[in-house]
Amino acid sequence: MGIYANPELLNWFTTEYPKHCKRKLDMGKSCIRFKKMDDIPYELIGELVQKMTPEQWIELYEANVKR
């Protein structure tokens, strides 16, 4: 999940999340957890997935992996 590898993206998401959802952000181990389907902020998740392409994630991963 590229959100952890990109501090700007993580900061954006954690700042935007409270604007879209009433519940506290429950995130970790490369996942975002929701207690109820009605709590999922689909618009925000849609924005998030558009902010990093698979190619960008692979590039970021390969740049940070220890060889």
**In Å, what is the CA distance from 32 to each residue of 4, 14, 17, 64?**
12, 11, 11, 22
Domain around 19: 2-64
Confidence of residue 67 (pLDDT cuts 50, 70, 90): low
Closest CA to 3 of 51, 39, 62: 51
The total domain count for the chain is 1
Burial grade of 54 (CB within 10 A; 0-12, 13-18, 19 or more): exposed
**Which pLDDT score is estimated for 31?**
87
Reported as a single tens digit per residue, the pLDDT across 4-52 is 888 899 999 999 999 999 899 999 878 899 999 998 999 999 999 999 9
Q: What tokens appear for 16 in the block? A: 């935007």
**Which pLDDT score is estimated for 9?**
92
**Which pLDDT score is estimated for 63?**
87
**Which pLDDT score is estimated for 44?**
95
How many other C-beta atoms can be found within 10 angstroms of the C-beta atom of residue 44?
15
- pTM value is 0.82
